């Protein structure tokens, strides 16, 4: 990466400052914290949750997140009987604005193939064990349709603010390959 950056700067195509600004934007302005804010609002505001259910793209836009693959988003709500996860089997369509840079495993051909054919095994690979009565749904994202999983709100979070709730939401929980953090384990 350093060699590529040096070459781009040497050729006059960019500057080190421009690259630093872009990296900072992905680390601080774009990323899983935006999706976490969507989830926390859905957990704490029933009216927002309903808007997210009906038209996730518009509800997400209410929070100021638009563009960069946040168009055509559907919210998938995990329940005690249904667990949702999503993948892009053809490439790596991913809602960057909400979830930040996609993890390497998300783009891996092995993951993309296995999640469709053996979703419970993939969940086990991520340390997730679901009751056999829970139906696992796998959704295939594309340029025309993207997803965000709204995980179940963790027990013991009553009375927590949206900001506190957002700290419990992980990128993997919004893909469906993880649970939110336990408030006791996460701490204040």
Q: Give the active site residues.
A: 88, 91-93
> Which of 149, 181, 178, 185 is CA-nearest to residue 165?
181
Query: Does 108 belong to an annotated binding site?
Result: no
* DSSP assigned state of 115: H
Query: Does 93 belong to an annotated binding site?
Result: yes
Q: At what angle do helices 32-44 and 46-54 cross, to 10 degrees?
A: 120
Full DSSP string of 37-89: HHHHHHHH-HHHHHHHHH-HHHHHHHTT--STT-SSEEEEE--SSEEEEEE-S
What phi and psi values does residue 2 have, to the nearest 5 degrees?
-60, -40
Residues annotated in the binding site for Fe(3+), as ranges?
A: 88, 91-93
């Amino acid at each position: 990466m350093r060699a590529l950056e040096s070459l781009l700067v040497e050729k006059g195509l960019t500057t080190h400052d421009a690259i630093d600004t872009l990296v900072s934007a992905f680390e601080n302005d774009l990323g899983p914290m935006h999706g976490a804010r969507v989830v926390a609002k859905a957990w704490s505001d029933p009216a927002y949750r309903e808007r997210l259910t009906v038209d996730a793209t518009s509800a997400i836009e209410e929070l100021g997140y638009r563009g960069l693959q946040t168009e055509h988003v559907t919210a998938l709500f995990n329940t005690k009987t249904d667990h949702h996860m999503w993948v892009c089997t053809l490439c790596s369509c991913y809602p960057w604005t909400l979830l930040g840079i996609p993890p390497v495993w998300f783009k891996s051909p092995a993951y993309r193939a296995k999640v469709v054919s053996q979703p419970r095994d993939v969940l086990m690979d991520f340390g997730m064990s679901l009751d056999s009565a829970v139906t696992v749904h796998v959704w295939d994202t594309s340029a025309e349709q993207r997803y965000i999983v709204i995980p179940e709100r963790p027990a013991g979070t009553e009375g927590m603010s949206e900001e506190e709730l957002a700290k419990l939401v992980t990128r993997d929980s919004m893909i469906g390959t993880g649970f939110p953090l336990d408030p006791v384990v996460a701490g204040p």
